[in-house]
Structure 1
């Protein structure tokens, strides 16, 4: 069964590459998301569909928390809101429970908020699939590749090695 969730926390190019690299993630689009609690505030993020028989919501949230600064309320949070965007109140409650359960894995308080997804606006076509369209770009090499190597180190069993190895071999 396919479900959908939005994630925000860092540059959408980085977040897109991380989640495109996972087994069970079927579609990832990057752009800007907002929530019903603050409709004027759009921040960078991704909207993804995932196969619940191949990867669970708790696994996606754990990966998300470990691949961006989920405990840092840094100066760029206006652009990079740390959030899990859900499509129902039941999913918000599930995400809250997952984050609370994962809190013990972190030294500082997790600031990531489960929010009710309001709108998603797709970024321009030339930015879609940014990393995998050309992993040799300087930003990809300097910023995204190190995050993918960390992903492999921490979540090797969730990585789609066919996809990621092709890019890392370039």
Structure 2
């Protein structure tokens, strides 16, 4: 199966939300929360939260393209966050919460451009999702990994993450593990 695994690097606001959804997707073999697109090596959560490092909170997905396509992953991505708000998702504000697709190949870039163009007809405001070549990815601290499953009753998880996961499950029931 190792030959059938591809990688996607996506930022759609808080990585706890994005990670929680993609952990439920059939064909996604692993999800890591982390940071990408910034200017310092090995940033910490505290540094990224200041907005001064230039990093976005992202998830690194490994997926089997024979089970789920990159296109399908992007369609989910555009359903679970608002790609029309610059550097913001709900009450999370700052460049670290920007909407971003870091493509791994020319094929991923072409697919992302096509999906963005299609999604422009779905949203009432212009899509501001950044599309850039994949930079270095820095895995977030261990306590951020699988955060929602470990802390479902924590306030942010209960009121922000859980509704996004529920929306995904209702919208994409056929994609659940």
Paired residue secondary structure (2:36): strand
Structure 2 CA distance, aligned partners of 1:98 and 1:50? Answer: 18
- One of 95, 110, 117 as aligned partner of 1:93: 110
Correspondence for 1:72: 85
Structure 2 CA distance, aligned partners of 1:35 and 1:140? Answer: 26
Q: Which runs of 4+ in 1 moved over 4 A?
A: none
Cα 1:23–1:77 change in 2 (3 A) is: same
Q: Give the TM-score normalised by the residue count of structure 1.
A: 0.85
Greater shift in the superposed pair: 18-27 or 96-105: 96-105
Correspondence for 2:28: 25
Number of aligned residues? 157
Paired residue secondary structure (2:8): strand
Structure 2 CA distance, aligned partners of 1:35 and 1:155? Answer: 32
Q: Give the TM-score normalised by the residue count of structure 2.
A: 0.82
Paired residue secondary structure (2:137): strand
Specify every segment of 5 or more residues in structure 1 that has no aligned partner in the other structure, as ranges: 161-170
Structure number with the higher strand fraction is: 1
- Measured on the aligned residues, the alpha-carbon RMSD in Å equals 1.8
